[in-house]
A and B are shown apart, each in its own frame.
Chain A
Amino acid sequence: MLPRVLRSARPISTSLALSRPLAHFRPHMDPDPSRPVERAIRTKLTDSLKPDHLEVHNESHMHAVPPGSESHFRVLVVSSLFDGLPLIKRHRLVNEALKEELSSCVHALAIQAKTPEQWGSNPTLVKSPPCMGGSKGDHTVEEKLKAGRD
């Protein structure tokens, strides 16, 4: 006769957690409530791409835009939905998910789109190249910054 504890059903969340490779587990970064664009990006990518791992980095401070801007982002999306897809199709999926942000306030979006296997064998975030100041005095960027503030 098995002890009662072994006969009781496991909670579903536990069984799912055990089936995930622990190497891929990373604590999610808490979304900053004062960063609505970052929050929107995170939500939309999570909803549409069901990522195993997601990083959203606001890189606006690396560019010629005012402090506190949400105009330049780097995203790393690890999802099995990318299996068998060429890079361009993966990037198009990300672009599609963030269509609204890209047409309004996001000026630059750097993307890394990996399958869980690819991430597992090379878990590194690419570094963005140094800014060459092109955003300064660029009225298209100024419009986007304004859209982000409104």
Chain B
Amino acid sequence: MNTLIRSTASCLRSGVAVYLPRQADGRVCSASARLLCAAAGVHKDLGEMVKKDKVVVFMKGTPAQPMCGFSNAVVQILRMHGVDDYAAYNVLEDQDLRQGVKEFSNWPTIPQVYFNGEFVGGCDILLQMHQNGDLVDELKKLGISSALLDAEKESK
């Protein structure tokens, strides 16, 4: 649990630092171009963020305190599989992130789940993957052994 809180806190800290709009190569931008520069900045950061960790979740609230039932469902599913070392970004803390991730993923809702830099889907998809066994396989590909798989082995 402490590891989770620490990793969540570090994500929130790095999250705030990362979303400052970056000037494109120091050139002077016009107003509309500045918006594009800022948007491009967020997208570039998101591109890095989703690859930095094997499992990345954009959610409302934090794993310790989710602020949305669907985000909580994602947290609970990952917890069930014993995945507690993942990057969780709270979109409620940053409106640029909240809008940016929707554009980046071309996905209109939160929560959003990434595995190895690849967009997996939202709560509905993760739930289905959990129910049909695909999630155990996908975690295995990430080098993560699901706790449910271990539990199954122990019961045999």
A residues with a Cβ closer than 8 A to B are 87-88, 91-92, 95, 99, 102-103, 108-112, 126, 128-135, 138, 140
Contact = CB atoms under 8 A, between A and B. Distances in A.
A75 to B, nearest CB: 10
A8 B24 CA distance: 74
Interface size grouping (class) on chain B:
20 to 34
Nearest to A107: B109
Interface stretch (B5-13, B35-43, B48-56, B122-130): B122-130
B119 A134 contact: no
Contact of A126 (B61, B71, B72, B127): B127
A14 B98 CA distance: 50
B109 A129 contact: no
Contacts of B98: 140
Given A102-B108, A132-B72, A110 B123 contact: yes
A140 B98 CA distance: 10
Given A111-B124, A129-B72, A95 B67 contact: no
B119 A110 contact: no
Contacts of A132: 61, 66-69, 71-72
Main secondary structure of the interface of A (DSSP, over half): mixed
A83 B44 CA distance: 35
B60 interface: yes
Given A129-B70, A140-B95, 11 more contacts: A87-B121, A87-B129, A88-B121, A91-B121, A91-B122, A95-B107, A110-B70, A129-B72, A131-B69, A132-B71, A140-B98
